[in-house]
Homo-oligomer: A and B are copies of this chain.
Amino acid sequence: MSVQVPSQVSRGAAARLLPLLLGLFMFGGPVGALDNGLALTPPMGWLHWERFMCNTDCRSDPDNCISEKLFMEMADIMATEGWLDAGYEYVCIDDCWPSAKRDARGRLQADPERFPSGIKALADYVHARGLKLGIYSDVGPTTCAGYPASYGSYELDARTFAEWGVDLLKFDGCNLQNISVLVEGYTNMSIALNGTGRPMVYSCEWPLYSWGEYIKPNYTQVRRYCNQWRNSADVEDSWESVRSLADWAANHQSLIVPVAGPGGWNDPDMLVIGNFGLSHSQQVTQMALWAIMAAPLIMSNDLRNLDGFSRNVLLNPHAIAVNQDPLGRQGTLVAKLKNNVDMWRRELAGGGMAVALVNRNQIGGPVLVNVSLSAWGLLGARVARACTPWCAVQVALPPGDATFLRLQGQAVRVAVNPTGAVLFTVRPHGGLPQPMVGVL
Seen from chain A, the residues whose Cβ lies within 8 Å of a Cβ on chain B are: 50-53, 55, 60-61, 64, 236-241, 275-282, 302, 362-366, 368, 417-420
The CA of A105 and the CA of B239, in the complex, are separated in Å by 51
Cβ-closest chain B residue relative to A370: B60
Q: Which of B51, B53, B368 contacts A60 (CB 8 A)?
A: B368
Q: Within the oligomer, what is the number of copies of this chain?
A: 2
Given contacts A279-B279, A281-B277, is CB(A302)–CB(B419) below 8 Å? Answer: no
In contact, B53 and A364 (Cβ under 8 angstroms): yes
Please name all residues of chain B whose beta carbon is closer than 8 Å to the beta carbon of A237 when the two chains form the complex: 362-364, 418-419
In contact, A365 and B277 (Cβ under 8 angstroms): no
Given contacts A60-B368, A237-B419, A239-B239, is CB(A277)–CB(B362) below 8 Å? Answer: yes
Given contacts A238-B239, A276-B279, is CB(A365)–CB(B51) below 8 Å? Answer: yes
The CA of A235 and the CA of B53, in the complex, are separated in Å by 32
The CA of A237 and the CA of B365, in the complex, are separated in Å by 10
Q: Which of B52, B276, B362, B365 contacts A238 (CB 8 A)?
A: B362
In contact, B277 and A239 (Cβ under 8 angstroms): yes
Please name all residues of chain B whose beta carbon is closer than 8 Å to the beta carbon of A364 when the two chains form the complex: 50-53, 55, 237
The CA of A302 and the CA of B415, in the complex, are separated in Å by 15
Q: How far is the CB of A79 from chain B (nearest CB, A)?
A: 23
Please name all residues of chain B whose beta carbon is closer than 8 Å to the beta carbon of A238 when the two chains form the complex: 239, 362, 419
Q: Which of B52, B363, B368, B420 contacts A365 (CB 8 A)?
A: B52
In contact, A418 and B368 (Cβ under 8 angstroms): no
Given contacts A276-B281, A277-B282, A419-B276, is CB(A50)–CB(B363) below 8 Å? Answer: yes
In contact, B276 and A417 (Cβ under 8 angstroms): yes
In contact, B275 and A418 (Cβ under 8 angstroms): yes
Given contacts A239-B239, A365-B302, is CB(A277)–CB(B279) below 8 Å? Answer: yes
In contact, A368 and B239 (Cβ under 8 angstroms): no
Give 6 nearest A-B pairs by CB, closest first: A276-B281, A238-B362, A276-B417, A276-B418, A236-B363, A53-B364
Cβ-closest chain B residue relative to A362: B238
* 6 extra A-B contacts, CB within 8 A, seeds A236-B362, A239-B277: A52-B365, A55-B364, A237-B418, A238-B362, A239-B239, A279-B282
Cβ-closest chain B residue relative to A272: B363
Subset of 17 A-B contacts with CB under 8 Å: A50-B364, A51-B365, A53-B365, A55-B364, A55-B365, A64-B365, A237-B362, A237-B418, A239-B239, A276-B279, A276-B280, A276-B281, A276-B366, A276-B418, A277-B282, A277-B418, A277-B419
The CA of A297 and the CA of B94, in the complex, are separated in Å by 43
The CA of A239 and the CA of B277, in the complex, are separated in Å by 8
The CA of A363 and the CA of B51, in the complex, are separated in Å by 7
Q: How far is the CB of A121 from chain B (nearest CB, A)?
A: 26
The CA of A278 and the CA of B420, in the complex, are separated in Å by 12
Please name all residues of chain B whose beta carbon is closer than 8 Å to the beta carbon of A278 when the two chains form the complex: 279
The CA of A419 and the CA of B275, in the complex, are separated in Å by 10
Q: How far is the CB of A48 from chain B (nearest CB, A)?
A: 10
Cβ-closest chain B residue relative to A53: B364
The CA of A192 and the CA of B420, in the complex, are separated in Å by 45
The listed residue with most B CB atoms (<10 A of its CB), out of A278, A364, A417, A420, is: A364
The CA of A164 and the CA of B365, in the complex, are separated in Å by 29
Please name all residues of chain B whose beta carbon is closer than 8 Å to the beta carbon of A368 when the two chains form the complex: 60-61
The CA of A236 and the CA of B364, in the complex, are separated in Å by 8
Please name all residues of chain B whose beta carbon is closer than 8 Å to the beta carbon of A52 when the two chains form the complex: 364-365
The CA of A336 and the CA of B224, in the complex, are separated in Å by 49
The CA of A423 and the CA of B73, in the complex, are separated in Å by 31
Q: How far is the CB of A287 from chain B (nearest CB, A)?
A: 15
Q: How far is the CB of A377 from chain B (nearest CB, A)?
A: 22
Please name all residues of chain B whose beta carbon is closer than 8 Å to the beta carbon of A302 when the two chains form the complex: 365
In contact, A53 and B236 (Cβ under 8 angstroms): no
Cβ-closest chain B residue relative to A301: B365
The CA of A279 and the CA of B419, in the complex, are separated in Å by 12
Please name all residues of chain B whose beta carbon is closer than 8 Å to the beta carbon of A239 when the two chains form the complex: 238-239, 277
